[in-house]
C-alpha cells in the first residue's frame, strides 16, 4: 500500500505543479486571467481538487492493469494525453474557454502525462507483489 500511496502523491504533485507552472507562464506572457468571478485562490483550489481525482484514477487504473502496463508507461501516458487533448479541443470549441487556455492545457498534459506515467511505472512495476 505504501508504493501505491506514494505513486498517487507523486503523480498528484507532478500534475499540479506542472499545470501551475505552465498556466502561470501563460498568464504572465498573455494576461490570461482566472475564470470570471473566481479569486486566484479559489481557482487554484478547484484545480487541485480536479488533479486529485485525475491522479487517483491515473494511478488506480495503472495499478489494476499493471500486469499489462508495466514497461509500457509511454503508451499509457499517450492514452491519457490523447483523452486530455480531445477534451481541451472540445472545451475550446464551446463557450467560456479560450484557445489560449486549451493550448496551455495541452502543453501541461504533454509534460505531466509521461512524467507521472514514468513514476507510476517505476513505483508499481514488476517488483511490486500483487497485494501491494
- Give the pLDDT score at 82: 98
> What is the spatial distance between Cα 121 and Cα 117, in angstroms, rounded to a whole number?
6
C-alpha cell, 122: 517505476
> What is the spatial distance between Cα 35 and Cα 78, in angstroms, rounded to a whole number?
29
Residue 125 DSSP one-character state: S
Place of cell 495503472: 62
pLDDT band at 127 (very low <50, low <70, confident <90, very high): low
With 0-12 / 13-18 / 19 or more C-beta atoms within 10 angstroms meaning exposed / middle / buried, residue 121 is buried
Task: Inform me whether the pLDDT recorded for 62 exceeds 60.
Answer: yes
Nearest 5°: CA angle at 92, between 88 and 96? Answer: 120
* Predicted model pTM: 0.89
Q: What confidence tens digit (pLDDT) does each residue in 12-51 have?
A: 999 999 999 998 899 889 887 777 777 888 888 999 999 9
Task: Inform me whether the pLDDT recorded for 58 exceeds 90.
Answer: yes
- Give the pLDDT score at 17: 97
Place of cell 481525482: 53
Amino acid at each position: 500500500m505504501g508504493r501505491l500511496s506514494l505513486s498517487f502523491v507523486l503523480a498528484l504533485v507532478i500534475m499540479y505543479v506542472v499545470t501551475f507552472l505552465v498556466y502561470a507562464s501563460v498568464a504572465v506572457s498573455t494576461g490570461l486571467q482566472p475564470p470570471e468571478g473566481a479569486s486566484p485562490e479559489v481557482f487554484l483550489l478547484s484545480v487541485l481538487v480536479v488533479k486529485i481525482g485525475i491522479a487517483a484514477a491515473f494511478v488506480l487504473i495503472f495499478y489494476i492493469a499493471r500486469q499489462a502496463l508495466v514497461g509500457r508507461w509511454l503508451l499509457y501516458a499517450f492514452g491519457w494525453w490523447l483523452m486530455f487533448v480531445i477534451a481541451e479541443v472540445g472545451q475550446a470549441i464551446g463557450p467560456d474557454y479560450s484557445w489560449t487556455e486549451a493550448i496551455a492545457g495541452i502543453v501541461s498534459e504533454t509534460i505531466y502525462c509521461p512524467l507521472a506515467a514514468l513514476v507510476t511505472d517505476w513505483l508499481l512495476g514488476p517488483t511490486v507483489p500483487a497485494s501491494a
